[in-house]
């Protein structure tokens, strides 16, 4: 069972209290963008075995979206952080690097 | 004017804990900036309660105030007083980005009473109910539906859910409270 701390409520919410909302930090390409950019925004998703950044929603709690850094293979959670960020904060990056010095980094 | 009637009209069940629907309970959803002084003042004058911290529920002489999210409070008050309270809150928060709505008749409230109150709630929810001390409010789910609950004291849990699923919640709690279903007692 995956347990994530909601950064808004401070509660440890298990997976069934949450709703997964896919890859984090997508850049939106809307009207006026190239076909390739628009296709990438709509359909192209990372699917790593290992460190991954995701969006989640505390669906049956506060209802807020937040971000989580976790490992898709071990289910290890490196941390959760607020939705109002364009990329993972330093503390999260540091937490991942502490566990996986070989990790090639975000992006 | 029509008579207000609660979801289950005060139905109750005696299992290894008592489950009772609370009848008419006033409830106000208040959304706004919880760090705002004007909002804290309006809440204080409406309920007598101080602004609750994250995940807390505070009590005053005219009601209780639960922290529902970083921008949402639930005021639990006297059913007959709710409309006037909404009007007073709306007036006091005229200059704020805030909204108060009377949701009394959109909700159902239960109390689960008995030494095993925590256990019965824990059976139907993924929350760590044993870690929930009086004064803390948890918003989570019970089986398939959203709910919020808090411990009034060590042997009394109060649970709020949507009215449309009130019967489901009652049936669920009754089932969890059936004699013979004790886990630790
Ligand atoms: Zn939350």
**CA–centroid distance, residue A36 to ligand 1 (Å):** 36
Indicate the domain borders of chain A. 3-99
User: Could you give the 3-state DSSP secondary structure of residue A96?
Assistant: helix
Report which of B129, B108, B101 is spatially closest to residue B6, judged by C-alpha positions: B108
Task: Please give the C-alpha separations between residue B87 and each of B44, B94, B105, in angstroms, as whole numbers.
Answer: 15, 11, 17
B98 and B33 within one domain:
yes
Same domain as B100, residue B64: yes
Of the partner residues A12, A14, A61, the one whose CB lies closest to the CB of residue B139: A61
Interchain contact, A60 vs B146, CB within 8 Å: yes
Burial of B44 (0-12, 13-18, 19+ CB in 10 A): middle
Residue where one domain finishes, among candidates B105, B130, B149: B105
Among B46, B75, B105, identify where a domain stops.
B105
The CATH number that applies at residue B146 is 3.30.1360.120
Predicted confidence at residue B185, as pLDDT, reads: 55
Task: Give the pLDDT confidence of A18-51 residue by residue, as tens digits.
Answer: 999 999 999 999 999 999 999 999 999 999 999 9
Contact B126 A17 (CB under 8 A): yes
CB contact A64 to B (< 8 Å): yes
Interface A-B, measured as beta-carbon pairs within 8 A, has a size of: 37
Instruction: Please check whether residues B74 and B114 belong to one and the same domain.
Output: no
Tell me, what's the pLDDT at A104? 85
Q: Please list, residue by residue across B82-107, b when 16 or more beta carbons sit within 10 angstroms of its beta carbon and e when fewer do.
A: beebbeebeebbeeeebebebbbbeb
pLDDT tens digit at each of 185 positions of chain B: 678 999 999 999 999 999 999 999 999 999 999 999 999 999 999 999 999 999 999 999 999 999 999 999 999 999 999 999 999 999 999 999 999 999 999 999 999 999 999 999 999 999 999 999 999 999 999 999 999 999 999 999 999 999 999 999 999 999 999 999 999 85
Cα(B108) to ligand 1 centroid in Å equals 22
Enclosing H/E stretch for A22: strand A19-23
Provide the domain limits for residue B162.
12-23+106-176
Query: Under CATH, to which class is A3-99 assigned?
Result: alpha beta
Residues of A in contact with B68 (CB under 8 A): 62
Q: Is residue B72 part of a domain?
A: yes
For residues B100 and B150, state if they share a domain. no
Three-state secondary structure string covering chain B: CCCCCCCCCCCEEECCCEEEECCCCEEEEEECCCCCHHHHHHHHHHHCCCCCCCCEEEEECCEEEEEEECCEEEEEECHHHHHHHHHHHHHHCCCCCCEEEECHHHEEEEEEECCCHHHHHHHHCCCCHHHCCCCEEEEEEECCEEEEEEEEECCEEEEEEEHHHHHHHHHHHHHHCCCCCCCCC
Tell me, yes or no, whether B182 lies in a domain.
no
Domain count, chain B: 2
The alpha carbon of B24 is separated from its chain's Cα centroid by a whole number of angstroms, namely 12
- The pLDDT, as a whole number, for residue A94 is 94
Is residue B4 in some structural domain?
A: no
Statement to judge: residues B44 and B77 lie in one domain:
yes
Q: What is the mean pLDDT of chain A?
A: 94
- Cβ of B70 within 8 Å of Cβ of A60? The answer is no
Given pLDDT bands bounded at 50, 70 and 90, which one contains residue A99?
Answer: very high
Instruction: Give yes or no: residues B90 and B129 share one domain.
Output: no
A12/B54 Cβ within 8 A: no
Cα B174 to Cα A47: distance, rounded to the nearest angstrom:
44
CA distance A22 to chain B (A): 22
Query: Quick one: pLDDT at residue A45?
Result: 95
| A9 and chain B in contact, CB less than 8 A | yes
Does residue B128 share a domain with residue B74?
A: no
CA distance B151 to B29: 20
Task: Write down the pLDDT at residue B178.
Answer: 97
How far apart CA B145 and CA B166 sit, in angstroms, is: 10
| Min Cα–Cα distance to chain B from A11, Å | 8
pLDDT band at A1 (very low <50, low <70, confident <90, very high): confident
In a domain, B98, yes or no: yes
A22: left (phi over 0), alpha (psi -120 to 50) or beta: left
> Do B149 and B163 fall within a single domain?
yes
For residue A46, what pLDDT is reported? 93
């Amino acid at each position: 069972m995956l347990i994530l701390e909601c950064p808004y409520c401070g509660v440890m919410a298990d997976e069934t209290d949450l709703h997964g909302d896919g890859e984090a930090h997508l850049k939106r390409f809307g009207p006026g963008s190239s076909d390739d950019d628009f296709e990438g925004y709509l359909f192209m998703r990372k699917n790593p075995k290992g460190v991954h950044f995701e969006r989640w929603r505390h669906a049956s709690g506060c209802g807020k979206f937040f971000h989580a850094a976790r490992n898709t293979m071990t289910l290890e959670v490196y941390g959760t952080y607020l939705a109002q960020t364009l990329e993972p904060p330093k503390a999260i990056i540091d937490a991942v690097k502490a566990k996986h010095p070989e990790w090639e980094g975000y992006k | 004017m029509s008579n207000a009637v609660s979801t289950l009209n005060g139905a109750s069940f005696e299992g290894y804990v008592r489950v009772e629907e609370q009848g008419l309970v006033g409830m106000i959803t208040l959304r706004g900036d919880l760090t705002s002084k004007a909002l804290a003042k309006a809440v204080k004058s409406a309920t007598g309660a101080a602004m609750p911290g994250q995940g807390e529920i505070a009590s005053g002489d005219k009601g209780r105030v639960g922290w529902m999210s970083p921008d949402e409070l639930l005021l639990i008050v006297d059913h007959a007083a709710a409309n006037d309270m909404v009007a007073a809150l709306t007036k006091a928060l005229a200059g704020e980005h805030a909204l108060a709505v009377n949701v009394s008749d959109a909700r159902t409230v239960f109390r689960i009473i008995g030494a095993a109150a925590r256990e019965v709630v824990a059976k139907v929810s993924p929350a760590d109910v044993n870690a929930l001390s009086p004064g803390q409010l948890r918003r989570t789910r019970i089986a398939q539906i959203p709910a919020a609950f808090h411990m009034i004291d060590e042997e009394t849990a109060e649970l709020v859910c949507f009215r449309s699923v009130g019967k489901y919640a009652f049936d669920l709690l009754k089932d969890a409270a059936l004699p013979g279903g004790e886990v630790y007692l």
